[in-house]
Structure 1
Amino acid sequence: MNVRLLIPFFDPTVKNWSLTARLMRWLTFLWLTIGMVVLFSASYYHGSIERKDGLYYFNRQIIAVVISLLLFNAIVHLPLRKPLKIAHWLLLGVLLLLLMTALPGIGKNTMGATRWIGFGPIQLQPSELIKPMLVLQAAKLFGKWQQYPTKVKATWLAIFALVLLTILKQPNLSTTSLCALGLWSIAFAAGLPLRQLTLTAIGGVVVAGMSLLLNAYQRARIISFIDPWADAQGNGFQLVQSLLAIGSGGVWGNGFGLSQQKLDYLPIQDTDFIFSVFAEEFGLVGSVLLLLMVMSYATLGLLIARRSQQPVHRAIAVGATTFIVVQSLFNIGVAAGTLPTTGLPLPMFSYGGSSMMASLMLSALLIRVARESAEAKVIQLNRV
């Protein structure tokens, strides 16, 4: 085994990859590097006060990055047929972890939501880890939709529904919506009938509406999103502080490490509202450049999907792109006050090992699709 293959930044095989695969690889590393720099700034004060160690959260994130990059490099060198072959077991395994969050003594409740399970000092968030598994299994199912019997289709649709309902029960409407949108985009890319997709979308909107009616805190978030200043010390506090941070950055920003809102004003500044810290320190110019990077990722991801000749691979590319790009736009939109407050992290920026692992695995799947699309050979059939 070539040990250098375990070090993603010094992979000697990259020179033989397609241009799109190489571009996606370096764009992912650029995104990751910027994210770690911003996390250092956003978490240092928080770590100093709560843990008596300014590097506490940053050091833990480095460990998560190292583990995630090992998975990343394994996936980019692994033929897609292998993870697809066991995709159903991977999904069911993470679904089991997801169900365990509801068990007393195992599920960890934080800020009113039970989204984590603990194994000693390690905490996992199954709703993040299940995203790449959903992409693989949904692409496998929808990409070969006509080949499966009705019983198999119904079974997997029921399992997907169970995943969504389990996440919704935590409660976590934002991640439920993102996963539902990811599944829908994969089905759309695989060419399922538009009428069925439209009815499914309507059903999803109805379920989301029912969730809003049944959960007072979700309705409060909608109201505070419309006019956060009406309750600036209550339900609107997070958004008000976020807007103050973004506005304080001006055009060029206050400079790296010089955010004032992260000092006991802006809540959860190293996860849900890390973009606010970024905008305050790097200003409008930095924010526009960040959005351009996200849009470049989206463009490259869709280009990879378009060039793929296999429906399953195309569906993987569309699903992975949807999860990373839409989640990024959701996070930025929340911080900027254009979307109701949600609990979605900013991929490869926010603190959290599960989110980092899921993001790099999704990026690796995109790169693998690009590699296999370029390496596919067209076999000429000689006429007899």
Structure 2
Amino acid sequence: MATTFEPAAKPWWDSWNAEARWLRWLTLVWLGIGLAVLFSASYPVAQQTTGDGLYFFKRQLLWAGLGLACFTLLVRIPLQRWFPWAGILCLLGIGLVWATQVPGLGVSRLDASRWLDLKVIPVIQPSELLKPLLVLQGAWVFGRWFEHPRWFRRVWVGLFALGLLGILTQPNLGTTAICGLTLWVMAWTAGVPLFALLATAGLGTLAAVVSILGKDYQRRRILAFLDPWGNARGDGYQLVQSLLAIGSGGWWGKGYGLSQQKLFYLPIQYTDFIFAVYAEEFGLVGSLFFLVLLGSYTWVSLRVMWRCPDLPTRLVACGCLMFLVGQALLNIGVVSGMLPTTGVPLPLVSYGGSSILSALIIAGLLVRAAREVG
């Protein structure tokens, strides 16, 4: 008697449009590369400091698992269901950013108070978790800019500025810059009047200049960026070691796990400067592959923006693209010496629970926007 088999059930994402499927796979590839690079970059320092070479990798896996759970949930929920709650959530996020300045709640590391200890959950970095909330509320405010009453627009522009100021006072100039630039690009995409855009750009630039002039270490970073080799054992040390790592990778790299600079020459090699370890181990070819990955992500995201049925959804895609690819390019620019050193992680690659959770939430919003293209 012949045996019949029922066809295997198709994956639930099989009915998605091409853009949503491509963004899903590109996100998973990006995440896979990030976890592999983190394993290599963090093993020596984890072994020395904790006695467990897998310490940072295992913690990153846990946060990545939570992020993927959020990603899976977000791609199934229409964006319109989030917009009514975005304002409240954004206010909560801004409040948490300012709570880092409260004694007993804020946690200081490396002369910065960017982390929050709420006692009942692990230490978090509110500025990272604020990013997807800025995307949602920014899309709602700017996407209906000419429909909202004037007081509503002024209140929310002021609240966005308050959130950015809170990040700047931690201090965290790099995250302030990427958050401010993302909101500015979303407003420009929405057609906000040019005068308002120029005014906010001017105020943002003034705030950055005041911050740099008021903090000695930020001024030294700028000077070190201009001539890192002039003080290679002082303020320029980190950038010099990063450039040595990138340069020593050659065409094909030294091979996975064989970086020399990660062996306590390059500071914070598993967080902000992790791309230098990647470039050393995979060389120019590997670095170009990563840039092609970012380019593919950008191209698909722009297709989503062009095809979005309404402006708020288009702005969600725009904001997500800025926070993922824009921040990645900012990080690579810093690591390669093209931009001044700032504390901005490489999304889905750098170690940090709040960072990888935020990036996967943002990726989930982007895939959801792609799904709504139809």
Give the AA of the match of 1:91: C
Give the AA of the match of 1:106: L
The residue that corresponds to 1:80 in the other structure is 79
Give SS of 1:108's match. strand
* Structure 1 residues 150-181: Cα deviation after superposition (integer angstroms, max 9, x where no partner): 11111111110100100000011111111100
How far apart are 1:11 and its partner, in Å? Answer: 8.7
The residue that corresponds to 2:94 in the other structure is 95
Residues in 1 aligned to 2:191 and 2:23: alpha-carbon distance in whole angstroms: 25
The residue that corresponds to 1:251 in the other structure is 251
How far apart are 1:203 and its partner, in Å? Answer: 2.1
Q: 1:266–1:116: structure 2 CA closer, same or farther, 3 Å change rule?
A: same
Residues in 2 aligned to 1:297 and 1:113: alpha-carbon distance in whole angstroms: 32
How far apart are 1:12 and its partner, in Å? Answer: 2.3
1:199 aligns with 2:199: yes
How far apart are 1:309 and its partner, in Å? Answer: 2.1
1:67 aligns with 2:58: no
* Structure 1 residues 101-126: Cα deviation after superposition (integer angstroms, max 9, x where no partner): 00112111111110001244711000
Give SS of 1:238's match. helix
Give SS of 2:70's match. helix
How far apart are 1:183 and its partner, in Å? Answer: 0.4
How far apart are 1:13 and its partner, in Å? Answer: 1.5
How far apart are 1:187 and its partner, in Å? Answer: 0.6
Identity of aligned pairs, percent? Answer: 50
Give the AA of the match of 2:40: S
| TM-score of the superposed pair, with normalisation by structure 1 | 0.93
1:53 aligns with 2:52: yes
The residue that corresponds to 1:362 in the other structure is 362
* Structure 1 residues 118-152: Cα deviation after superposition (integer angstroms, max 9, x where no partner): 24471100010000000000100110011111111
Give the AA of the match of 2:16: W
Residues in 2 aligned to 1:143 and 1:45: alpha-carbon distance in whole angstroms: 47
How far apart are 1:199 and its partner, in Å? Answer: 2.4
The residue that corresponds to 1:331 in the other structure is 331
How far apart are 1:32 and its partner, in Å? Answer: 0.3
Residues in 2 aligned to 1:158 and 1:199: alpha-carbon distance in whole angstroms: 13
The residue that corresponds to 1:117 in the other structure is 116
* Structure 1 residues 12-43: Cα deviation after superposition (integer angstroms, max 9, x where no partner): 22110000000000000000000000000000
The residue that corresponds to 1:316 in the other structure is 316
How far apart are 1:297 and its partner, in Å? Answer: 1.0
Q: Unaligned regions of 5+ residues in structure 2, if any? A: 1-8
Give the AA of the match of 1:187: A
Residues in 2 aligned to 1:238 and 1:333: alpha-carbon distance in whole angstroms: 14
Give the AA of the match of 1:78: I
Give SS of 2:117's match. strand
Q: How does 1:105-184 map to 2 (within 5 A)?
A: 105-120=104-119, 122-184=122-184
Q: How does 1:272-291 map to 2 (within 5 A)?
A: 272-291=272-291
The residue that corresponds to 1:267 in the other structure is 267
The residue that corresponds to 1:230 in the other structure is 230
Residues in 2 aligned to 1:252 and 1:32: alpha-carbon distance in whole angstroms: 22
* More moved, 206-215 vs 240-249: 206-215
Give the AA of the match of 1:75: L
Q: Unaligned regions of 5+ residues in structure 1, if any? A: 1-9, 375-384
RMSD (CA atoms): 1.2
Residues in 2 aligned to 1:329 and 1:139: alpha-carbon distance in whole angstroms: 23
Give the AA of the match of 1:84: F
Residues in 1 aligned to 2:94 and 2:29: alpha-carbon distance in whole angstroms: 32
